[in-house]
């Protein structure tokens, strides 16, 4: 894993962990529904940011390597198509 991306991804994951703890506490404390929804949307955006970091790492490392090897490019394409189909739901 690219070390810069790893550092940023770990930082983002820790932020998401804190956001989740805050959301859990807010649910337990029966906070206003709109506030809970805003928190969930914020978490979703943070997850999207983490997803982009992990995708960037995959493209810069694994996909670049797979595309340079004859016969491995199909695997890279299948993997990216799978991720794309999951993100399109």
Task: Give me the pLDDT at residue 9, please.
Answer: 97
CB 78 within 8 A of CB 63: no
pTM: 0.82
pLDDT at residue 87 above 90?
Answer: no
> pLDDT for 29-49, tens place per residue?
999 999 999 999 999 999 999
CB 76 within 8 A of CB 56: no
- Tokens representing residue 40 in the block: 């969930």
CA-closest candidate to residue 39, choices 13, 8, 11, 18: 18
> pLDDT for 56-84, tens place per residue?
999 999 888 888 887 777 888 888 889 88
Whichever domain contains 13, its CATH number is 1.20.58.1000
Helix (H, G, I), strand (E, B) or coil at 72: coil
Helix (H, G, I), strand (E, B) or coil at 69: coil
How many whole angstroms separate alpha carbon 42 and alpha carbon 57? 23
Total structural domains within the chain: 1
Q: State the residue range of the domain holding 12.
A: 3-87
Task: Give me the pLDDT at residue 67, please.
Answer: 82
């Amino acid at each position: 894993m690219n070390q810069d991306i790893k550092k940023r991804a770990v930082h983002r994951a820790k932020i998401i962990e804190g956001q989740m703890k805050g959301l859990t506490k807010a649910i337990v404390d029966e906070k206003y529904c709109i506030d809970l929804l805003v928190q969930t949307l914020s978490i979703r955006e943070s997850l999207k940011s983490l997803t982009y970091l992990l995708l960037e790492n995959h493209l810069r490392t694994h996909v670049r390597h797979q595309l340079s090897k004859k016969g491995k490019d199909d695997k890279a394409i299948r993997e990216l198509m799978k991720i794309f189909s999951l993100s399109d739901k």
